[in-house]
Structure 1
Amino acid sequence: MISFSVLMSVYRNDKADCVRTAVESVTIRQTLQPAEVILMVDGPVSVDLKQTINELEKQICYLKPVWLKENVGLGNILRIGMEYCTNELVARMDADDISLPDRFEKQIEYMFSHPELAVVGGQISEFIDTPTNIVSYRRVPCNSTECRRYYANRDPLNHMSVCLRRSAVLDVGSYQPWHLDEDTFLWGRLLLKGYEVGNLPDILVNVRVGAQMYARRGGYNYFKSDMGILQWKYKNGLMSLLQYYYNYVVRFMVYVMMPNKLRGCFFRLFMRK
């Protein structure tokens, strides 16, 4: 039996019922259960959420909440959480999504049989309101070479679906803060150091989306952060100058010029399948 960890984080805006569903989906509802779930609590949370976490801790013996007094942000909380994980394989999970029951059975076996891969993700479905109301899919390349090429324009990995080799993540400096692009920055540093990444063709996680998500993926601050990542990619040879300018124009139109509702339509029509 292969031991592995799950790393999750929650903060004050997360809803208690969604967190319960997410935690259960990576524990008692999995055909292959983890040895531990490190649940990082990023600063003060609501009474309902705190009570839910305490209840889950009593129900699931390998759930290990880590309570931080102050909010430190996603990049920092995941960096700290990675230090708490005691296994080489660490699966990521977001607090408002739902992992499919056979996710780890497929993913952990694949990582064990492909030791050359530092990260293995999978495809995702996206739903609004209820898990049965699937509105789109985000499909990414499976082959490592294709993932490296894909990274020039878009993330080749769905962050909430990945399983990572802890040693590789720590080797490149672990997670680091980068507003809404902590995962993109990590993938780039892994690729720069020669690590390989890949994906399963299977849907592993059902992801909650909606207007709030598209609002987070818009506005000048997000555009500015994303441009920083593009500049970093170009300076490190991970994208061409033509790709940089193309992405600059498209992202300015989508992130800055489009209202949330139109941005949501754009993502579903052109960025999803």
Structure 2
Amino acid sequence: MKFSVLMSIYHKESHQHFDRAMRSVWDEQTIKPNEIVLVEDGVLTDGLYQAIREWKERLTNTLQVVSLKENVGVGAAKNIGIEMCNCELISVMDTDDVSLPKRFEKQLAVFENQDVDVCGAWIGEFEFNETQIISYRRTPEQHNEIVAFAKGRSPVNHVTAMYKKSWVLNVGNYAKYRTSEDYNLFVKLIMAGAKIYNLQESLVSVRMGNEQQVRRGGLKNAMFEADVQVGFYKMGFLNFFEMIRNVSVGFVIRMLPSVLMKVIFKMIRKL
């Protein structure tokens, strides 16, 4: 089955991390993608441009680079990237994470053998050494469990997602949020009747550092999250009690000091 890999990159990314991500989706995979679509979300650093040029030289007929003049955010950048993908199946990848060697092989097998529209997996989180996983974010396997899980948290680890382009376009693509655009997408897909399945193993290793924790906290992020939950209520996905619960819990967590917030997120991983 043919598939595209979709990535977006912005100026704060490390060129070393980008190179590692690219090696994990090309050099190390048992099944290679038919194309890689990379969206440059605004002006990048010299190091990133150099790394992208080197990969473009290697993958002349595979790597498609889309350059945006201004930073528009992950959701808007991926909206543009999805339109540029030529394959019906699209695999999402972040430019600082590491896909394990059999990721694509295992996800393609799900699409070949099951009636699904989205396939995710667990992620393993690391701080400095990708071989030293400190925690996992586990997501439920079957669709009915996934729907129930989505009432409180995003039901698919976005960096592991492989989905059908037609379904994503049918529900209006990613929302132009600066946060939770992936959660919003999966809820819209559920509401539209898409079938979701999560492999019960980690297929992507994700960098987790202090910077990521800081990005999640603060009043602005708490307000963003509240808007997302209100949106789910208006869509009919959450009832009033569920909305109030999610807004309240999210607000408290995001207003905690970063050290405590990190502990809370680790505890949530184990639930």
TM (normalized to structure 2)? 0.96
Match of 1:177 in 2: 176
Question: Which whole-Å CA distance do the structure 2 matches of 1:271 and 1:23 have between them?
Answer: 27
Q: In the alignment, which residue of structure 2 is the partner of 1:97?
A: 97
1:102 aligned partner, one-letter code: K
Matched, 1:27 2:22: no
Match of 2:129?
Answer: 130
| Corresponding residue pairs, total | 270
d(CA) in 2 for partners of 1:113, 1:271: 29
Shift of 1:156: 0.5
Where do residues 125-164 of structure 1 align in structure 2 (5 Å cutoff)? 125-164=124-163
Partner secondary structure for residue 117 of structure 1: coil
Secondary structure (helix, strand or coil) at the match of 1:215 reads helix
Question: 2:4 is matched by which residue type in structure 1?
Answer: S
Aligned to 2:9: 10
Separation in structure 2 between the aligned mates of residue 231 and residue 68 of structure 1, nearest angstrom: 31
Contact 1:179 1:222 in 2 (8 A): no
Residue in 2 that maps onto 1:235: 234
Instruction: Within 5 Å, give how 1:1-273 maps onto structure 2.
Output: 2-61=1-60, 62-114=62-114, 116-256=115-255, 258-272=256-270
Per-residue Cα deviation, 1:202-236 (whole angstroms, up to 9, x for no partner): 21100000111111111111111111111111222
Contact kept in structure 2, 1:38 and 1:64, CA below 8 Å: yes
Deviations 1:179-211 (A, max 9, x none): 211101111111111112111112110000011
Distance of 1:24 and 1:217 partners within structure 2 = 28
Distance 1:218 1:271 in 2: 17
Report the aligned-residue RMSD. Answer: 1.2
User: How far apart are 1:69 and its partner, in Å?
Assistant: 1.8
Q: What is the identity, as a one-letter code, of the residue corresponding to 1:18? A: H
* Contact kept in structure 2, 1:127 and 1:207, CA below 8 Å: yes
Query: Does the Cα contact within 8 Å between 2:138 and 2:269 map onto a contact in 1?
Result: no
Amino acid aligned to 2:131: T
Amino acid of the structure 1 residue aligned with 2:78: L
Question: Is the Cα–Cα contact under 8 Å of residues 107 and 163 in structure 1 kept in the other structure?
Answer: yes
User: Which amino acid counterpart does residue 3 of structure 2 have in structure 1?
Assistant: F
Residue ranges of structure 1 left out of the alignment (5+ in a row): none
Contact map agreement 1:75 1:175 (CA 8 A) in 2: yes
Question: Is this contact kept in 2: 1:97–1:207, CA < 8 A?
Answer: yes
Contact in 2 for aligned 1:126/1:136 (Cα 8 Å): yes
Could you tell me the TM-score, scaled by structure 1's length?
0.96
Contact 1:254 1:263 in 2 (8 A): yes
Q: Tell me, yes or no, if the aligned pair for 2:125 and 2:207 is still in contact at 8 Å.
A: yes
**Matched AA of 1:270:** I
| Structure 2 unaligned blocks of 5 or more | none
The letter for the 1-side match of 2:268 is F
Alpha-carbon contact 1:125-1:136 (below 8 Å) kept: yes
SS of the residue corresponding to residue 179 of structure 1 reads: coil
In 2: Cα distance, 1:34 partner to 1:47 partner: 27
The alignment partner of 1:134 has SS state of coil
Deviation at 1:56, TM superposition (A): 1.1
Identity fraction in percent: 36
Per-residue CA deviations over 1:70-99 (Å, capped at 9, x if unaligned) read 212111110000011000000000010000
How far off its partner does 1:272 sit? 4.0
* Distance in 2 between residues matched to 1:13 and 1:123, nearest whole Å: 26
